[in-house]
Structure 1
């Protein structure tokens, strides 16, 4: 499945969440990630993220069957283009 993940964390935990999410998805903008992920890996990510989060933090995950069902428009420079893999 293809996901877009967005989080909002307290300053002290942002770095840890960034490192965690980069292990599973592609970082495209501050606190925003995207990519293909299995259901099992997504559950693993959610469990680990929950362990870092406090009451005022949030994690939002948008799911799609695949990237082709999602129209993406980038205005300006894309931080981490994911279409340049060999």
Structure 2
């Protein structure tokens, strides 16, 4: 999940996201969710954001399709991915 929201909503979106995912960088969270968890996360985020905000979810069909390369430091290393 990647988000770009107004300053007054950043903390709220981050708190919701961290209930489901691992925070890995500013405005970036990663993790693996069940379909029900994903639906709940989206519903909770929709209640917070405004039309001018943007939240993106990157979905991978399987773990073999995921490859992450990091240059520099990392905040957290998630155990699971979406």
Q: Which has the higher strand share?
A: 1
TM-score by length of 2: 0.90
Report what 2:56 is aligned to. 60
Task: Choose which of 9, 12, 20 in structure 2 pairs with 1:13.
Answer: 9
Confirm or deny that 1:40 pairs with 2:36.
yes
1:77 corresponds in structure 2 to: 73
What are the superposed Cα offsets for residues 44-83 of structure 1, whole Å, 9 maximum, x if unpaired? 0001100001110011111012333211101011110125
Q: Distance in 2 between matches of 1:33 and 1:55?
A: 21
Is 1:29 the counterpart of 2:2? The answer is no
Distance in 1, matches of 2:74 and 2:63, equals 17
User: Which structure features the higher share of helix residues?
Assistant: 2
Unpaired runs of 5+ residues, structure 1, are none
Q: Which runs of 4+ in 1 moved over 4 A?
A: none
Cα separation, 2, equivalents of 1:80 and 1:25: 11
Aligned length: 79
C-alpha root-mean-square deviation of aligned residues, in Å? 1.0
Q: Residue by residue, what CA displacement relative to the aligned partner does 1:21-45 show, whole Å, maximum 9, x if unpaired?
A: 0000010101101111011100100
**Within 2, Cα distance between the matches of 1:68 and 1:42?**
20
